[in-house]
Amino acid sequence: MLARTAVWALALAFAASGGEADRLTPDQKRLNIDSFEHVWTTVRDKHWDPKLGGLDWQAVHDKLRPRLESSTTMDQARATMQEMLARLKQTHFNIVPAKVYREIGAKDKGEGAGRTGIEVRVVNGRALVVAAEPGSGAASSGVQPGWEIERVDGKPLADAVRKIEQSFHDSTLHDIMLERAVSGRLEGDAGSRVQVTFRDGRGHSTTLEIERAVPRGEKVSFGNLPPMYFWVESRKVRPDVAYIRFNLFFAPETLSKAFENAIRDCPACRGFVVDLRGNPGGMGGLAMGVAGWFLDKPGLRLGDMVMRSGTLKFVVYPRPEVFRGPLAILIDGCSASTSEILAGGLRDLQRARVFGMRSAGAALPSVFERLPNGDGFQYAIANYVSEGGRQLDGAGVIPDETAGPSRRALLEGRDPALDRALTWIENSKN
């Protein structure tokens, strides 16, 4: 249930670079036809809704198959298959270029992955540093929150950001696509360096060479995904307010222990903050596990996962020790999948108040497989409906109180979403 934002960003970058314009050979044309039929049949047989919401899937096939057959380049063939999937009007149905799919299919892709430690968000067309991880190359180079990233290895960001903003202007994936496009340029092999030009807090342009290092946290694997790194941090943002943040819904034992310790270390806490900003999801069942630390009534559920074979109810089982005080959840446009299930479910149960920005609207579980032509095919296998009857996919979780980062707030060391949450906790009655 991990939102595959890195894949989407890579695919977008591939398309922007010109894709593959060479004329197709007869064998390639045959493989494209086989791929088209496989995609169409898979949707027909495996989509959670056998009726596809009333869409005449056979008519879609009959209209687009001739166009596919007349394609003379891979770009044209791929675009036709993508258009077919677009008729579903749902995320998590994508055609991924072969070059990109080979990258995500490599088991050891994460081994050499290096990160600068810069956490970035694009705000009003500007790529802003929202944090520099302690001990990272960015932190040791003096990078500060609020600095604007202007160039990476001498290449300006403005044009790429503008293209993505135009393409995803009306999409809930807007923020997550922008973040991945910028972060992807900062990543590389561990031990290598990247040259980054910033507009600093005084408005001056400064260029730094930042070393990439192995990401912080515990190395974890899941299914056919490349290795990832999981971390969780917990502290008190005020003497009577606990705070926990983690980057993925993985490592069940580690995550559960972190919540257990946070609650036990603050028995008299007035409030609790769960920060899901930037968390793209992971194991869907962990949403129920986390919710169990904050619900004391058995039988409650976060929502339902609807599959062709039946419905999975996200029932929450309370922990022996639960936190009963005010619960604030922070989200943003880079919170997706399981993060949305947890935030939306607890809000629907009136157990939490949500602060920040609308989430990515990418809540569906999906799988990847390779097509006969070498491209990758992503398709969703279920639909998720929150306890309040909301379909989060393509809509996202809308905060109770909207508050996002700004360059000024970041430079001043303020966190508007967290500040709003703390004010609410202060004014809440336990």
Q: Are residues 248 and 396 in the same domain?
A: yes
Q: Is 105 a member of any domain?
A: no
Q: Tell me the two tokens of residue 13.
A: 């970058």
Rounded mean pLDDT, 332-345: 94
Say what the pLDDT of residue 4 is.
46
- Residue 5: band (very low, low, confident or very high) from pLDDT cuts 50, 70, 90: very low
Question: Can you say whether residue 320 is alpha, beta or left, with left for phi > 0 and alpha for psi between -120 and 50 degrees?
Answer: alpha
Of 124, 121, 10, 3, nearest in space to 376 by CA: 10
Q: Are residues 272 and 408 in the same domain?
A: yes
Q: Are residues 243 and 280 in the same domain?
A: yes
Rounded mean pLDDT, 2-10: 46
- Residue 221: band (very low, low, confident or very high) from pLDDT cuts 50, 70, 90: confident
Residues in CB range of 52: below 8 A, 6 or more apart: 43, 88
Say what the pLDDT of residue 169 is.
81
pLDDT more than 70, % of the chain? 91
- Residue 10: band (very low, low, confident or very high) from pLDDT cuts 50, 70, 90: very low
155-156 and 148-152 strand pairing? antiparallel
Say what the pLDDT of residue 286 is.
95
Q: List the beta strands (DSSP E) in 217-352.
A: 218-220, 228-230, 232-238, 241-246, 271-275, 301-307, 310-315, 327-331
Q: Are residues 320 and 398 in the same domain?
A: yes
Rounded mean pLDDT, 337-358: 95
Q: Tell me the two tokens of residue 170.
A: 């009306």
Label residue 266 exposed, middle or buried (CB < 10 Å: 0-12, 13-18, 19+).
Answer: buried
Q: Are residues 144 and 224 in the same domain?
A: no
The last residue of one of the domains, among 211, 239, 259, is 211
The last residue of one of the domains, among 211, 240, 256, is 211
Say what the pLDDT of residue 224 is.
61
For residue 6, is pLDDT > 50?
no
- Residue 225: band (very low, low, confident or very high) from pLDDT cuts 50, 70, 90: low
Q: Is 91 a member of any domain?
A: yes
Say what the pLDDT of residue 166 is.
82
Expressed as residue numbers, the domain containing 128 is 113-211
Rounded mean pLDDT, 83-92: 89
d(CA 261, CA 391): 33
Q: Tell me the two tokens of residue 355.
A: 């602060």
Say what the pLDDT of residue 295 is.
97
Which of 16-25, 142-151, 244-253 comes out lowest in average pLDDT? Answer: 16-25
Say what the pLDDT of residue 17 is.
46
Please tell me which residue, 3 or 195, carries the higher pLDDT value.
195
d(CA 98, CA 368): 12
Q: Is 38 a member of any domain?
A: yes
Rounded mean pLDDT, 146-150: 98
Mean pLDDT of the chain: 89
Q: Tell me the two tokens of residue 322.
A: 């639960």
For residue 200, is pLDDT > 80?
yes
Q: Is 278 a member of any domain?
A: yes
For residue 105, is pLDDT > 50?
no
Say what the pLDDT of residue 305 is.
87
Within 13 A of 274's CA, how many CA atoms are on the CB side?
Answer: 29
d(CA 19, CA 25): 17
Q: Tell me the two tokens of residue 308.
A: 């062709």
CATH of the domain at 40: 3.30.750
Cβ-count burial 211-220 (b if 16+ within 10 Å, e if not): bbbebbbeeb
Q: Is 126 a member of any domain?
A: yes
Say what the pLDDT of residue 430 is.
62
The last residue of one of the domains, among 195, 211, 227, is 211
- Residue 19: band (very low, low, confident or very high) from pLDDT cuts 50, 70, 90: low
Dihedral sign (CA 383, 389, 395, 401): negative
Q: Are residues 157 and 281 in the same domain?
A: no
Say what the pLDDT of residue 9 is.
45
CATH of the domain at 312: 3.90.226.10
Q: Domain total for the chain?
A: 3
Task: Convert the pLDDT of each residue in 255-288 to its tens digit.
Answer: 999 999 999 998 889 999 999 999 999 888 899 9
Which of 167-176, 356-365, 387-396 comes out lowest in average pLDDT? Answer: 387-396
pLDDT more than 90, % of the chain? 70
Q: Are residues 397 and 422 in the same domain?
A: yes
Q: Are residues 205 and 82 in the same domain?
A: no
Phi first, then psi: what are they for 19, rounded to 5°? Answer: 60, -145
- Residue 310: band (very low, low, confident or very high) from pLDDT cuts 50, 70, 90: confident
Hey, how many other C-beta atoms are within 10 angstroms of the C-beta on 342?
A: 31
Q: Are residues 162 and 246 in the same domain?
A: no
For residue 329, is pLDDT > 80?
yes
Indicate yes or no: pTM above 0.75.
yes
d(CA 52, CA 13): 30
Task: Convert the pLDDT of each residue in 41-60 to its tens digit.
Answer: 999 999 999 999 999 999 99
Q: Are residues 186 and 283 in the same domain?
A: no
